Amino acid sequence: MRREVLVEEPVNALVRVMTDGTVLPTSFIWRDRTRYVATVGRQWEERVQGKLIRCYLIQAVDDNTFELHWDPGENRWTLHRAWLRDLAV
């Protein structure tokens, strides 16, 4: 059973920049553990406190699901929430 957790923590992300300029996360570090991205699903943009934020719903290779937010103006990544199989992260 998965459990949704609101996280709102900064993370370091490794990304791939595609030839068309699209930025896709390939891994990120959360709580001293590298999470590798298996698939990038839905992507959308939100306006948060006047800033345009790029949002990514990703499936990690450990079968957990994460919502990452990227602020391109600050080049800052945040783990917004997670759907975890095991809460001992």
What does 5-46 look like in DSSP terms, one character per residue? EEEEEEEEEEEEE-TTS-EEEEEEEETTEEEEEEEEEEEEEE
Contact 65, 53 (CB under 8 A): no
Name residue, tokens 């929430």.
81
pLDDT in 10s for each residue of the chain, 89 residues: 788 999 999 999 999 999 999 999 999 999 999 999 999 999 999 998 899 999 999 999 999 999 999 999 999 999 999 999 875 55
What global pTM score does this model have?
A: 0.90
pLDDT given at position 48:
87
